[in-house]
């Protein structure tokens, strides 16, 4: 008989969910506050290819050159390549700039790139060759300078002119 009373009392008892709900009310905001949300920026680049995909060689283009930027810890070397142009013409466009580290070499670099872009308007590719020990921030700064120029036409107006928007990231062999 006593056992039946205990069974009836247990069957009529409701489950108390308030402590579990309190746990979730506290736990969910804590997890949301401790989660880290990152904004990932992507720099669009491509990798160098081993050669032409078809059996025929591409016809050389006299109006298009490829700019090569070698970034080292102490200097930036700019060179131009094209199979159809004479080496003397390409050597005239070459430039070596010292890198003091404060970004003061970037206006000279952009001026040289603008001159190349004016001479060879169809050109759109820059090959970046970072050296050993070059910081990622420095590589991104040089890439930004090679992609476009930003001219301020007032307080709020910016004029962006593309220079070499196609970037190939490579490594010296």
| Mean pLDDT, rounded, for 82-100 | 85
Percent of the chain with pLDDT over 70: 74
- 136-147 vs 106-119: helix crossing angle, rounded to 10: 40
pLDDT number for residue 70: 92
Does residue 46 lie within any of the structural domains?
no
Same-domain pairing of 106 and 148: yes
pLDDT number for residue 55: 47
Does residue 104 lie within any of the structural domains?
yes
**pLDDT tens per residue across span 26-65:** 888 888 888 776 666 667 766 666 554 444 555 666 778 8
Domain of 90? 66-169
Percent of the chain with pLDDT over 90: 8
CA distance 3 to 51: 88
Tokens at 62, concatenated = 């006299």
Q: Total domain count for the chain?
A: 2
Same-domain pairing of 11 and 77: no
Contact 159, 151 (CB under 8 A): yes
56: left (phi over 0), alpha (psi -120 to 50) or beta: beta
Does residue 57 lie within any of the structural domains?
no
Same-domain pairing of 90 and 165: yes
**Closest residue by Cα to residue 65 from 76, 79, 54:** 79
Same-domain pairing of 82 and 164: yes
Same-domain pairing of 30 and 70: no
**pLDDT tens per residue across span 118-150:** 888 888 889 999 988 888 888 888 888 888 888
Contact 113, 53 (CB under 8 A): no
Collapsing DSSP to helix, strand or coil, 131 comes out as coil
Does residue 39 lie within any of the structural domains?
no
Residue positions counted in the chain: 173
CA distance 126 to 130: 12
Task: Round the average pLDDT of the chain to a whole number and report it.
Answer: 80
Does residue 13 lie within any of the structural domains?
yes
> Which pTM was predicted?
0.64
The CATH number of residue 95's host domain is 3.30.420
Does residue 76 lie within any of the structural domains?
yes
Contact 94, 82 (CB under 8 A): no
pLDDT number for residue 57: 54
**pLDDT tens per residue across span 95-105:** 898 887 777 88
Does residue 45 lie within any of the structural domains?
no
Phi first, then psi: what are they for 149, rounded to 5°?
Answer: -110, 145
């Amino acid at each position: 008989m006593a056992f039946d009373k205990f069974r009836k009392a247990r069957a009529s008892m409701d489950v108390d969910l308030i402590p579990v709900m309190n746990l979730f009310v506290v736990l969910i905001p804590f997890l949301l506050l401790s989660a880290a949300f990152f904004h990932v920026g992507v720099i669009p680049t491509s990798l160098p290819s081993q050669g032409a995909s078809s059996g025929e060689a591409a016809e050389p283009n006299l109006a298009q050159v490829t700019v090569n930027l070698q970034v080292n810890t102490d200097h930036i070397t700019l060179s131009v390549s094209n199979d159809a142009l004479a080496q003397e013409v390409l050597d005239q466009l070459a430039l070596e700039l010292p890198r003091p580290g404060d970004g003061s070499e970037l206006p000279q670099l952009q001026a040289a790139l603008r001159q190349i872009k004016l001479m060879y308007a169809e050109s759109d590719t820059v090959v970046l060759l970072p050296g050993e020990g070059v910081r990622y921030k420095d590589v991104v700064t040089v890439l930004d300078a090679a992609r476009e120029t930003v001219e301020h036409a007032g307080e709020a107006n910016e004029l962006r002119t593309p220079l070499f928007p196609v970037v190939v990231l490579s490594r010296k062999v």
